[in-house]
């Protein structure tokens, strides 16, 4: 079972169908598939293998007891990270208190020494995520090994607090993308930030110790424009050429996706950057066919490798791409 952003169910359904995974709509923001496709679906926030589904309306005690028993039978060994979520829709969000209560009730029935509290350690500890989904009409329970999970956050809702000094909401998209990468921009590295204004991404890169060349005809917030490790190139990204190759190419340009993909492919072909994090805007109705073309341009024409393409929790009508060049 997959979760997605509200309104994106049909796009998720379509890509699962194209992958031959036999999807079925379960309800708002929930899509089920018979098999797991080889490539993680772009529009899925998270996915679990459903172990049981119970009708809602039973007592908390009954539901929690049945779920705990099923968890212990299906997963007799190993560390577990237990989480609960509700579908991210108005009807789902009204069930948040029930989801919290169920989480505590199931937790109290599982052996404490098998429960890992530090979710961020789940992958290195080889733990299994056990997710309780409290949806209108049913409670579903499923699992996914943390190393295969698309997200370690309940239901893929990677909530982050916006930093008080952040010039834009966009910074959270970069933060979320970097959480999923094995390495991130750091001290001494050079990043080019295409479509940088007002400076949310640039600020997060500078905070990590990197030097940033921010390319955008629009203005950066003054603190960044005067920062010693920021150079603002006030021109179009299509006209800009780096003086020498850089470590990271970041791109959040509000521009046509195919033209942005061509630009990123040019950077790849010319070996102008080693790592790529790019946000691709998708205002059109037919998103999947366009994403196929973007993927083709980046990999076949640009030589970008290890491409991931995901609609992250902080992405709206857009997806985030990461990739690298071989070194
Ligand atoms: C979503 S905003 C970027 C937000 C930014 N990442 C942040 O965190 O503050 C999109 C930006 O793309 C810029 N943009 C659009 N076309 C561009 C182009 N051809 N070259 C450079 N920047 C461009 C716009 O000026 C705008 O500032």
What pLDDT, in 10s, does the model give residues 83-142? 999 999 999 999 999 999 999 999 999 999 999 999 999 999 999 999 999 999 999 999
Ligand 1 binding pocket mutation candidate from 170, 242, 253, 258 (most atoms within 8 A of CB): 253
Gap between the Cα atoms of 117 and 93, Å rounded: 24
Residue 10 Cα to ligand 1 midpoint, Å, equals 29
Gap between the Cα atoms of 165 and 97, Å rounded: 32
Interval 31-51 mean pLDDT: 96
How many Å separate Cα 22 from the centre of its chain?
23
Interval 199-203 mean pLDDT: 97
Ligand 1 binding pocket mutation candidate from 216, 238, 312 (most atoms within 8 A of CB): 216
- DSSP lists the bridge partners of residue 83 as 131
Q: How confident is the model at residue 255 (pLDDT cuts 50, 70, 90)?
A: very high
Residue 262 class from Cβ within 10 Å (0-12 exposed, 13-18 middle, 19+ buried)?
A: middle
pLDDT at 162 over 70: no
Which residue minimizes the CA distance to atom 27 of ligand 1?
A: 197
| Contact present, 31 and 45 (Cβ < 8 Å) | no
Question: Would 279 be classed as within a structural domain?
Answer: yes
68: nearest Cα among 110, 102, 103: 110
Gap between the Cα atoms of 127 and 122, Å rounded: 5
DSSP code, position 115: B
For the chain, give the mean pLDDT: 95
- CATH number assigned to the domain comprising residue 268: 3.40.50.150
Q: How confident is the model at residue 327 (pLDDT cuts 50, 70, 90)?
A: low
Q: What is the predicted pLDDT for the residue at 245?
A: 98
Is any atom of ligand 1 closer than 6 Å to the C-beta of 43? no
Do 150 and 178 lie in one domain? The reply is: no
Last residue of a domain, one of 116, 132, 156: 156
Residue 109 Cα to ligand 1 midpoint, Å, equals 51
Is any atom of ligand 1 closer than 6 Å to the C-beta of 216? yes
Do 67 and 211 lie in one domain? The reply is: no
Question: Would 20 be classed as within a structural domain?
Answer: no
pLDDT at 232 over 70: yes
Do 230 and 142 lie in one domain? The reply is: no
Atom of ligand 1 nearest to the CA of 173: 8
61: Cβ contacts below 8 Å, ≥ 6 apart: 105
Q: How confident is the model at residue 250 (pLDDT cuts 50, 70, 90)?
A: very high
Question: Would 139 be classed as within a structural domain?
Answer: yes
Question: Would 240 be classed as within a structural domain?
Answer: yes
Q: What is the predicted pLDDT for the residue at 326?
A: 81
Is any atom of ligand 1 closer than 6 Å to the C-beta of 204? no
Which residue minimizes the CA distance to atom 18 of ligand 1?
A: 236
Do 238 and 285 lie in one domain? The reply is: yes
pLDDT at 37 over 70: yes
Do 218 and 279 lie in one domain? The reply is: yes
Do 188 and 136 lie in one domain? The reply is: no
Gap between the Cα atoms of 275 and 185, Å rounded: 9
Asked which of 14-28, 166-180, 299-313 is least confident by mean pLDDT, the reply is: 166-180
Do 177 and 281 lie in one domain? The reply is: yes
274: Cβ contacts below 8 Å, ≥ 6 apart: 245, 246, 247, 248, 324, 325, 327
DSSP code, position 177: H
Do 145 and 184 lie in one domain? The reply is: no
- 281 catalytically annotated: yes
| Contact present, 158 and 65 (Cβ < 8 Å) | no
Gap between the Cα atoms of 178 and 180, Å rounded: 5
Q: What is the predicted pLDDT for the residue at 72?
A: 98
Looking up tokens 């950066």, which residue turns up?
A: 220
Query: How many structural domains is the chain composed of?
Result: 2
Q: Which two tokens stand for residue 279?
A: 């946000």
Do 188 and 53 lie in one domain? The reply is: no
What pLDDT, in 10s, does the model give residues 264-274? 999 999 999 99
Do 176 and 319 lie in one domain? The reply is: yes
Gap between the Cα atoms of 153 and 314, Å rounded: 13
Is any atom of ligand 1 closer than 6 Å to the C-beta of 220? no
Residue 307 Cα to ligand 1 midpoint, Å, equals 22
307: nearest Cα among 298, 315, 318: 298
- DSSP lists the bridge partners of residue 27 as 30
| Contact present, 215 and 271 (Cβ < 8 Å) | no
Q: Range of 238's domain?
A: 171-324
Residue 156 Cα to ligand 1 midpoint, Å, equals 27
Last residue of a domain, one of 95, 127, 156: 156
Is any atom of ligand 1 closer than 6 Å to the C-beta of 169? no
The one catalytic residue in 219, 266, 281, 287 is 281
Q: What is the predicted pLDDT for the residue at 183?
A: 87
* Angle subtended at Cα 85 by Cα 46 and Cα 35, rounded to the nearest 5 degrees: 35
Residue 245 Cα to ligand 1 midpoint, Å, equals 21
């Amino acid at each position: 079972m997959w979760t997605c952003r509200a309104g994106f169910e049909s796009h998720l359904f379509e890509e699962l169908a194209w992958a031959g995974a036999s999807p079925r709509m379960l309800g708002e923001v929930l899509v089920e598939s018979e098999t797991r496709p080889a490539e993680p679906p772009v529009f899925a926030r998270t996915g679990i293998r459903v172990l049981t589904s119970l009708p809602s309306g039973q007592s908390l005690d009954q539901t929690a007891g049945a779920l705990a028993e099923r968890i212990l039978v299906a997963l007799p060994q190993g560390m577990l990270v237990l989480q609960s979520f509700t579908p991210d829709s108005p009807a789902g969000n009204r069930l948040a208190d029930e989801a919290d209560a169920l989480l505590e009730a199931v937790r109290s029935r599982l052996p404490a020494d098998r429960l890992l509290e530090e979710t961020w350690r789940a992958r290195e500890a080889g733990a299994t995520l056990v997710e309780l989904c409290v949806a209108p009409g049913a409670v579903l329970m499923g699992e996914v090994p943390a190393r295969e999970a698309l997200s370690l956050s309940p239901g893929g809702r990677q909530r982050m607090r916006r930093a008080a000094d952040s010039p834009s909401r966009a910074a959270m998209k970069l933060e979320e993308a970097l959480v999923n990468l094995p390495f991130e921009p750091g001290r001494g590295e050079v990043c080019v930030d295409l479509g940088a204004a007002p400076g949310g991404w640039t600020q997060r890169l500078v905070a990590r110790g990197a030097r940033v060349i921010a390319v955008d005809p629009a203005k950066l917030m003054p603190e960044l424009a005067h920062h010693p490790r920021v150079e603002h190139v006030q021109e179009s990204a299509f006209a800009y050429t780096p003086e020498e190759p850089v470590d990271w190419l970041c791109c959040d340009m509000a521009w046509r996706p195919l033209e942005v993909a061509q630009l990123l492919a040019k950077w790849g072909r010319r070996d102008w950057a080693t790592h790529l994090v790019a946000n691709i805007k998708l205002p059109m109705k037919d998103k999947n066919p366009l994403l196929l073309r973007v993927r083709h341009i980046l990999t076949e024409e640009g030589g970008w490798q290890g491409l991931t393409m995901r609609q992250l929790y902080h992405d709206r009508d857009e997806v985030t791409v990461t990739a690298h060049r071989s070194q």
